[in-house]
Structure 1
Amino acid sequence: MSYAQYIKEIGRGAEGARDLTREEACRVYAAMLDGGVPDLELGAILIALRVKGESIEEMLGFLDASDQRMHRLVMPHGRVRPVVLPSYNGARKEANLTPLLALLLQRFGVPVLVHGLLEGFGRVSTAQIFRELGHLPVGSVQQAQQTLSAEGLVFLPLNAFSPGLHNLLALRGRMGVRNSAHSLVKLINPFAGEAVLVAPATHPDYIELMRALLLERGQRALLLRGTEGEPYANPKRRPRLELVSRGQVDILFEAEHDSLRGLPNLPEAIDAASTARWMRRVLDKQLPLPKPLANQLACLLYASGYADDLNQAKAIVAVEATGMAMGGN
């Protein structure tokens, strides 16, 4: 395959470049995932896409190629849908609370699959906090299936189910900038069925693109502005929480804009050990769960089918998880 024709189209800069069709994007990305693109052309494609910006059709094509090469998990038995938490950013300024959200869902019997990277690259990763809490990553999809059945919670490294995407993510260290794969991994559902994906947008402008992609692909997802790119609601100020399902979008909670009356009780430091200690105290009900996370937990109990409606989910969380009163929208 010659890649010059594609580079010529997408490499003319933000003003002169042409978007690839969905089919072209799928063809090119498939070769990239398979390791079939020479280094020079691969770097040119990645930088051209970053400068131009990916279109919806291109992202759909990239996701098509990723789907075709992904090692899938079988959906768990039962009426409750599993929840998928993509965790790729880690903590830089705020404590990473993704493991807490996963553990709370597990407590309610909602199957949870967290996928991400083992390395923190200078940040505190979810895998590092899980280790402090006694939850070790698995090494294969088969092990993930067994652990999920036995424990209801598993951390699956990206390279175990999508090695091609893992290799593209790893290019950041060599190239110095992110590429399309960093966006794709937050839209991946490794299950062969309708799980609930928690889709965290890193920047406000990206929420619209993610929403359009989720709708086009018919995915069930809870869309939000992630905290430093992680899939949990900011404990200091709740972002808007949108449920995308069956071709429509329902706003379950609006974003909070009022001034803070007081800061929630949060970990004293962002390192893995301090974060894990704080999480144990929240799980033991020695400390209150920050309200934005309680709101997000209620959304996921509803989206997963654990609760019949959002009001029931709010009541369940208030009584069983936190003992705190939960307000309306």
Structure 2
Amino acid sequence: MTNLLKEVGRGKRGARDLCYDEALLAADAILDLKATPAQIGAFFIAERIKMESVEEIEAFVTVCRKHAHRLPIQQGLDCAGPYDGRKKSFFATFPAAFLLATAGLPITLHGAAALPPKWGITLHDLLHESGIDADRLSRDQIVKAAKDTGVLYVPAEEWCPQLRALRSIRIELGMRTVLNTAEKLIDYSHSPFLVFGIYHNTVSARMAQLATNLEYTRALIVQGMEGSEDLFIERPTRTYLVTDGESKLHMIDPDTYGLETPLPKMEWTPAEQLRVSESVLQGRGHLAFVNQVLLNAAVRLQLAEKVESIEEGLYTCKALLDDGAPWELYRKWQNALQAESALPCSS
């Protein structure tokens, strides 16, 4: 580990990217906790200064996957949003998951308790507000609920314990590390389709190459709200469609589909996120949030080749939302996991 640190820690000009094999050695040492806390912290900071290469991130993804509980539970779409959560934006991906599952597209969500640097509201918080203690859920019951509803939620630090082991170091550092990217790409259910959120456009080319290297059938890299995978509804969103080894810029403008809507000012809390999500699923939400869920769901249906166009996806999703089936599916999923999380935990 010391020799690897010398290569990445020579400063902005002197540091070099590790090759894939070297990065695998570093990832193994860190995730197996064979490196000391000082070495782990130094590596994370050096990488942050240098900026991680595609090969380095891929190596960390590979090692995370090796240690994670992964099963081909459902062949659908993996929604990879930031584990450090949100502070200023709506979790459209949460209600959209149940709309998409109703449309026949299985969805995988995953997350953990809040992390740096943002320390925002996470999916974990929404589940807790919904009466579900995600950290107490057994794998078997999570999988059963997914098979019954098409929505899989993975508590990442339970299914990949190495992430939990490194939490204290990440909290002490208080900044983004390579794990902030790698943990989103563990792909617990072997999904062929990926929607992946980024904050800065400067990383789009690297993330597109990474999605190709990881052999997703189709991926959408989204420069979304607070670095999430959610499209904006009040303005266009820059996205990159990755398919057949190529990445193409695709600006998605809600005004094109008659959906552009100003967002109301909100003071977001876990309770408010859940209330708005449930209102949308019940067909009585604020128009901005309803439209945002519809647009995100339609784009994801097209990404997964369930519809031929975003327009067709919108028509499909609007009809399903009006019918009430996504709300019924959500309640079925919620009831199953509420009952399970109240029981003694088992794996």
Return the TM-score normalized by structure 1: 0.84
1:263 aligns with 2:262: yes
Kindly tell me the number of residue pairs found equivalent between the two proteins. 315
Task: Decide whether aligned partners of structure 1 residues 100 and 85 sit closer, same or farther in structure 2, where only a CA change above 3 A counts.
Answer: farther
Q: Which residue of structure 2 aligns with residue 326 of structure 1?
A: none
1:272 aligns with 2:270: yes
Task: Decide whether aligned partners of structure 1 residues 307 and 126 sit closer, same or farther in structure 2, where only a CA change above 3 A counts.
Answer: same
1:204 aligns with 2:201: yes
Q: Which residue of structure 2 aligns with residue 315 of structure 1?
A: 315
Contact between 1:241 and 1:296, CA under 8 Å: does it hold in 2? no
Q: Which residue of structure 2 aligns with residue 306 of structure 1?
A: 306
Contact between 1:95 and 1:267, CA under 8 Å: does it hold in 2? no
Distance in 1, matches of 2:81 and 2:165, equals 17
SS at the partner of 1:244?
strand
Cα drift, residue 163 of structure 1: 1.7
SS at the partner of 2:284?
coil
Contact between 1:169 and 1:178, CA under 8 Å: does it hold in 2? no
Post-superposition Cα deviations, 1:134-176, rounded to whole Å, max 9, x if no partner, equal: 5552634433322211232232111122222343344221122
Distance in 1, matches of 2:80 and 2:299, equals 14
Distance in 2, matches of 1:250 and 1:18, equals 29
Distance in 2, matches of 1:252 and 1:321, equals 26
Greater mean alpha carbon deviation, residues 149-158 or residues 25-34: 149-158
Task: Decide whether aligned partners of structure 1 residues 256 and 300 sit closer, same or farther in structure 2, where only a CA change above 3 A counts.
Answer: closer
Distance in 2, matches of 1:244 and 1:156, equals 25
Task: Decide whether aligned partners of structure 1 residues 6 and 299 sit closer, same or farther in structure 2, where only a CA change above 3 A counts.
Answer: same
Cα drift, residue 309 of structure 1: 4.8
Q: Which residue of structure 2 aligns with residue 99 of structure 1?
A: 94
Contact between 1:73 and 1:145, CA under 8 Å: does it hold in 2? no
SS at the partner of 2:152?
strand
1:10 aligns with 2:5: no
For CA contacts below 8 A with separation 6 or more, give which structure has more relative contact order.
Answer: 2
Unaligned runs of 5+ in 1: 324-329
Contact between 1:70 and 1:161, CA under 8 Å: does it hold in 2? yes
Contact between 2:208 and 2:240, CA under 8 Å: does it hold in 1? no
Unaligned runs of 5+ in 2: 324-347
Greater mean alpha carbon deviation, residues 172-181 or residues 4-13: 172-181
Distance in 2, matches of 1:233 and 1:169, equals 29
Q: Which residue of structure 2 aligns with residue 295 of structure 1?
A: 295
Cα drift, residue 108 of structure 1: 2.4
Cα drift, residue 318 of structure 1: 4.0
Distance in 1, matches of 2:40 and 2:279, equals 47
SS at the partner of 2:240?
strand
Q: Pick from 142, 149, 152 the counterpart of residue 150 of structure 2.
A: 152
SS at the partner of 2:70?
coil
Structure showing the higher helix proportion among its residues: 2
Distance in 1, matches of 2:271 and 2:220, equals 29
1:226 aligns with 2:224: yes
Contact between 2:103 and 2:320, CA under 8 Å: does it hold in 1? no
Q: Pick from 174, 192, 195 the counterpart of residue 192 of structure 2.
A: 195
Q: Which amino acid aligns with 2:88?
A: K
Distance in 2, matches of 1:239 and 1:88, equals 21
Distance in 2, matches of 1:144 and 1:304, equals 23
Post-superposition Cα deviations, 1:67-114, rounded to whole Å, max 9, x if no partner, equal: 2222102233xxx62443445132212233332222322332422221
Distance in 1, matches of 2:37 and 2:224, equals 32
Task: Decide whether aligned partners of structure 1 residues 97 and 84 sit closer, same or farther in structure 2, where only a CA change above 3 A counts.
Answer: closer
Q: Pick from 105, 110, 122 the counterpart of residue 110 of structure 1.
A: 105
Cα drift, residue 222 of structure 1: 2.0
Distance in 1, matches of 2:12 and 2:254, equals 35
Q: Pick from 43, 46, 55 the counterpart of residue 44 of structure 2.
A: 46
Task: Decide whether aligned partners of structure 1 residues 72 and 262 sit closer, same or farther in structure 2, where only a CA change above 3 A counts.
Answer: closer
Contact between 1:96 and 1:124, CA under 8 Å: does it hold in 2? no
Cα drift, residue 250 of structure 1: 4.9
SS at the partner of 1:228?
helix
Cα drift, residue 306 of structure 1: 3.0
Cα drift, residue 315 of structure 1: 2.7
4+ aligned runs moved over 6 Å, structure 1:
none
Cα drift, residue 16 of structure 1: 0.6
* Residue pairs, 1:219-258, within 5 angstroms: 219=216, 220-251=218-249, 253-254=251-252
SS at the partner of 2:237?
coil
Distance in 1, matches of 2:42 and 2:302, equals 44
Distance in 2, matches of 1:249 and 1:216, equals 12
Cα drift, residue 189 of structure 1: 1.3
Q: Which residue of structure 1 aligns with residue 25 of structure 2?
A: 27
Distance in 1, matches of 2:297 and 2:230, equals 9
Return the TM-score normalized by structure 2: 0.80
